[in-house]
Chain A
């Protein structure tokens, strides 16, 4: 399918633009087409349904969406939410990475911790909400806690997978060159598991971003999730839609950011990698 598609489109674009430029932005081009189709469908569906509570007009939502970026109330709440996400992620990182490295490297640690971790991570994130409110009250505390809980498991699991994926001969080679345990941790275990750790970070950030919105519905009276509940209560569906699209876009941008960091930090995996001295 991919093959056919590309054969047709390169032919077509030979007229539009030099092939190289199009090749580079081909993905973006396809995305724009799909988004345009969705918008057109939305436009006509909204005109047909004629019920702005269920499905607001596209124009109205688009207007809300663009003005939202200049709205102090929305932006300050978004900043608050982002701060919570990064704080929660930081806690998860501080706990998850060393724990994952330890469990990946030591069979004993693995046997000791894995049953606990594997059962605790089965508890749905929303099931932590009552307890987190009891522990931390309302406000930042429970949200940060919920983000940390949901982010820590993908970090631990991916770190373990990363350490397990290291070729045992790297350890043998390092030892034969006189490396001690701290050397091996620093020069083999950490860089060897880095690609997987960074994937874990992306997943953790995604989970964190998802759970923060949930947490803010319940455990706080500020933040991006709280704005959504407010919009719903005030029957401003267009704003709700706009906020939802924003939350998707922000999550997407964060993920892209991590992807760029990942490529930079693990350029040694790519043949055309940028080489540091």
Chain B
């Protein structure tokens, strides 16, 4: 049986004096143990909504999420959630942040210490455990956020655009770090992203969603060895295939979605024709700039 089952999720947002907007309609798929799955699609396609439902922060109108045989009803430590802006508690040290889920569970000091050691080991954060988040670089913050989510040994890791706020040069480096970290932890991952190259680099499977009621355009399996070579023809092939799929996914106009406070769909606005082109160029440029960057070296 699959580890995570998404069964017929439908979610509609109703706004005053507006026609109800169906974000997700009868969305179903399953994720196997150990898989790294990306949800990719234009803004407003409901990918963050879906992840929010998986996290238990939002209740679907119908359908259910089954994780390891249990129905997801509210947020819980069986799912490690990494937020777009990491949401590290600034008043806690790295150590306190990482151990928060264990401290809430009132685990013994010895267990906490052991777990901390393991987590610092896989995240290469030794020596920084007594620092505060404000004193860390963006990459270190990301690693803290990921190992904090891993601390309670969750069944699955849910990543909401983990590199959304990172500038382009840093992004690739952090993608590599993230790949190594997740590989080391041997965990199952569902990640939301709007970056094609990122999804191909990190995932075993990319689910391309359309802005039309969150329908699955295509479920692409990435059969490439790790670590992946961004320059290989196969890699580029996947990127252009998926880019083409995303272009199709744009055909339906997206509508603003009201998510629970704190969550946001991708901040790029694809609504008008002009911003559509703009956004699309940005997506494809991201890919071509990768090549230029490498070629120059």
A residues whose Cβ falls under 8 Å from a Cβ of B: 167-180, 183, 187-188, 191-192, 194, 266-271, 273, 275-277
Contact = CB atoms under 8 A, between A and B. Distances in A.
The 8 closest A-B pairs by CB, nearest first: A168-B262, A177-B101, A169-B87, A168-B261, A169-B262, A178-B77, A191-B91, A175-B75
Contacts of A267: 132
A271 B135 contact: yes
A170 B132 contact: no
A177 B57 contact: no
Interface in B150-188: 151-152
Interface in B105-135: 105, 130-135
Given A169-B85, A191-B91, A194-B91, A176 B79 contact: yes
Interface string B128-147: 00111111000000000000
Contacts of A172: 55, 57, 75, 81, 83, 87, 260, 262-263
Interface string B87-111: 1011111000000110011000000
A121 to B, nearest CB: 28
Contact of A169 (B83, B91, B132, B133): B83
Contacts of B91: 191-192, 194, 266, 268
Interface in B56-74: 56-57, 74
A177 B132 contact: no
B131 to A, nearest CB: 7
A174 B132 contact: no
Interface size class of B (residues with CB under 8 A): 35 or more
Given A169-B262, A183-B104, A269 B87 contact: no
Given A169-B262, A177-B100, A191-B91, A268 B134 contact: yes
Interface in B191-207: none
A173 B80 CA distance: 9
B131 A275 contact: yes
Contacts of B134: 268-271, 273
Contacts of B263: 169, 172
A178 B152 contact: yes
A180 B87 CA distance: 18
Contacts of B81: 172-173, 176
B269 to A, nearest CB: 21
Contacts of B85: 167, 169
Contact of A167 (B57, B132, B152, B262): B262
27 contacts: A167-B85, A167-B262, A168-B260, A168-B261, A168-B262, A169-B83, A170-B89, A172-B263, A173-B89, A175-B74, A175-B75, A176-B76, A176-B79, A176-B149, A177-B148, A178-B101, A178-B104, A178-B105, A180-B104, A187-B92, A191-B89, A267-B132, A268-B132, A270-B134, A273-B135, A275-B131, A277-B130
Contacts of B55: 172, 176
A187 B100 contact: yes
Nearest to A179: B104
Contact of A173 (B87, B132, B135): B87
Given A175-B74, A266-B91, 12 more contacts: A167-B87, A169-B263, A172-B75, A176-B57, A180-B104, A187-B89, A194-B91, A268-B90, A268-B133, A273-B135, A275-B93, A275-B131
Contacts of B148: 177
A174 B262 CA distance: 13
Contacts of B132: 267-268, 273, 275
A178 B134 CA distance: 24
Nearest to A192: B91
A268 B92 CA distance: 8
Nearest to B99: A177
A170 B79 CA distance: 16
B159 to A, nearest CB: 12
A194 B260 CA distance: 25
A191 B88 CA distance: 13
B150 to A, nearest CB: 11
Contacts of A271: 134-135
B130 A275 contact: yes
Nearest to B83: A169
A174 B100 contact: yes
B89 A188 contact: yes
Contacts of A273: 132, 134-135
Contacts of B75: 172, 175-176
A188 B89 CA distance: 8
A171 to B, nearest CB: 7
A177 B104 contact: yes
A277 B84 CA distance: 28
A170 B105 contact: no
A11 B55 CA distance: 60
A268 B75 CA distance: 27
B154 to A, nearest CB: 9
Contacts of A194: 91
A242 to B, nearest CB: 44
Interface in B218-274: 260-263
Contacts of A268: 90-92, 132-134
A17 B134 CA distance: 34
